[in-house]
């Protein structure tokens, strides 16, 4: 079965056609319209409008700040949880339950999850009640409509990705390497930082890339938790398509978002490759 070039052609025909027609061509249309005026003249004016304007840089700044912070927090919180699941949990069924609990949010709509936070973070919500009850604050903190609120929601939505990728990497670390390090006299901390952590670095990077690319393009969570008071790049682009109907300017915003995402993914995988070479070099 499946040996000739002709079969190969048959196999590839449908996927290539579908992705050309419904993925590449639409993106091409957006690119062209982002470089056009309303009446079809070639121009860089749409990009000029974005890059010359302080408001846009502020929105880009907020978007990046949220994405960078959520990536860092997801790694910092995700690593201990991954460690716990892979190294500490002894009872198989409990680990299985934990993994199910970890994946359950991923299988639930962003809306549902953000909605849960809308209830929790409200003025009289559980979070404020708890903080007040513990005596940590005197009056309710405003979370909704602030970057903190969006950050809580984003971290919540993206955390499972880092736990899964780091957990996968941890589960594959060769125990002999750690034992060797301990036998040679390194302490637990030293073994972790010079053996285990570098060996799981690709998991950290993979999770970080997923989280970053999803955080930078997130729309639903910021839209729901911002209450219209904080704007991120994806919200700005969506406005142009849904209410302003300026496809040229909206296109330029979309392409900007796309370029930022791809540039960051490219940069991170370059870093990861560099790290991998480093490891081989040593």
Partner 1 sequence: MIIRMIALTTLAYLVLPLVVVIGVSLTETKFLVFPPQGLTLSWYRVILEDPTYVRSFLVSAVLAALATLAAIVVALPAAIAMARYSFRGKAALSALLLSPLVLPHIVIGAALLQYGASIGLVRNFPALLVGHLVIVTPFVLRTLMPLFSPEQLSLEEASRDLGASAWATFFLVTLPQIRAGLVSGAIFAFITSFINVELSIFNTTSTLNTIPVQLFNYVQYSVDPSIAAVSSLTILAAAIAIILIDWLIGLDFLSGR
Angle between helices 197-216 and 247-281 (to 10 degrees): 180
Neighbours of 212 (CB within 10 A): 23
CB of 274 to partner 1, least distance (A): 19
- C-alpha–C-alpha distance, residues 191 and 197, integer Å: 9
**Is 214 within 8 Å of 265 (Cβ atoms)?**
no
Contact 66, 150 (CB under 8 A): yes
Give the per-residue contact string, 162-201, with partner 1 (x = CB under 8 A; - = no): -----xx-xx-x-x--------------------------
Give the nearest distance from C-beta 132 to partner 1 in angstroms: 15
23 vs 55 by CB, closer to partner 1: 23
**Does 113 engage in binding with partner 1 (CB under 8 A)?**
yes
27 or 279: whose CB is closer to partner 1?
27
Give the nearer residue to partner 1 in terms of CB position, either 113 or 147.
113
Contact 152, 117 (CB under 8 A): yes
Choose which of 142, 199, 238, 246 interacts with partner 1 (CB under 8 A): 238
Instruction: Point out which span in 43-51, 62-70, 189-197, 246-254 binds partner 1 (CB under 8 A).
Output: 246-254
Query: What's the gap between Cα 129 and its chain centre?
Result: 30
Residue of 85, 90, 80, 87 lying closest to 101 (CA atoms)? 85
Return the residue of 149, 207, 222, 251 that touches partner 1, per CB under 8 A: 251
21 or 278: whose CB is closer to partner 1? 21
Determine if 125 is a binding residue for partner 1 (CB under 8 A).
yes
Q: Which of 50, 83, 144, 149 binds partner 1 (CB under 8 A)?
A: 83
Contact 115, 224 (CB under 8 A): yes
Instruction: Please give the residues from 85 up to 104 whose contact with partner 1 meets the rule CB under 8 A.
Output: 85-88, 92, 95-96, 98-104
258 binds partner 1 (CB under 8 A): yes
Q: Does residue 19 belong to the site contacting partner 1 (CB under 8 A)?
A: yes
Q: Where are the alpha helices (DSSP H) in the chain?
A: 5-19, 25-34, 45-51, 54-83, 92-103, 110-121, 126-133, 147-171, 175-183, 188-191, 197-216, 220-226, 233-239, 247-281
Cα 260 off chain centre by: 13
**Binding of partner 1 by 131 (CB under 8 A):** no
**Is residue 211 at the binding interface for partner 1, with CB under 8 A as the rule?**
no
Quote the least distance from Cβ 112 to partner 1, whole Å. 4
Q: How far is the CB of 182 from partner 1 (least distance, A)?
A: 15
Task: Give the phi and the psi of residue 195 in degrees, each rounded to 5.
Answer: -120, -65
- Write down the least CB distance from residue 186 to partner 1, Å: 19
How many residues bind partner 1 (CB under 8 A)? The answer is 92
């Amino acid at each position: 079965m499946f040996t000739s070039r002709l079969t190969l052609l048959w196999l590839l025909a449908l996927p290539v056609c579908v992705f050309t027609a419904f993925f590449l061509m639409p993106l091409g249309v957006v690119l062209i319209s982002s470089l056009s005026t309303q009446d079809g003249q070639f121009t860089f004016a749409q990009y000029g409008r974005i890059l010359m304007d302080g408001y846009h840089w502020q929105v880009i700044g907020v978007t990046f700040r949220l994405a960078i912070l959520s990536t860092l927090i997801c790694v910092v919180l995700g690593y201990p949880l991954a460690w716990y699941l892979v190294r500490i949990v002894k009872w198989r069924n409990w680990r299985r339950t934990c993994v199910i609990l970890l994946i359950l949010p991923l299988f639930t709509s962003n809306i549902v999850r953000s909605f849960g936070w809308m209830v929790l973070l409200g003025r009289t919500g559980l979070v404020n009640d708890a903080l007040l009850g513990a005596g940590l604050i005197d009056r309710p903190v405003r979370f909704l409509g602030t970057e903190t609120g969006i950050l809580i929601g984003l971290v919540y939505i993206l955390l499972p990705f880092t736990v899964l990728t780091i957990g996968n990497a941890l589960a594959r670390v060769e125990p002999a390497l750690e034992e060797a390090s301990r036998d040679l006299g390194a302490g637990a901390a030293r073994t972790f930082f010079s053996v285990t952590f570098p060996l799981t670095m690709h998991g950290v990077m993979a999770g970080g890339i997923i989280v970053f690319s999803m955080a930078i393009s997130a729309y639903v969570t910021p839209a729901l938790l911002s209450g219209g008071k904080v704007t991120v790049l994806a919200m700005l682009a969506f406005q142009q398509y849904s209410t302003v109907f300026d496809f040229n300017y909206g296109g330029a915003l979309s392409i900007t978002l796309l370029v930022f995402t791809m540039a960051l993914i490219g940069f991170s995988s370059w870093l990861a490759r560099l790290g991998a070479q480093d490891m081989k070099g040593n």
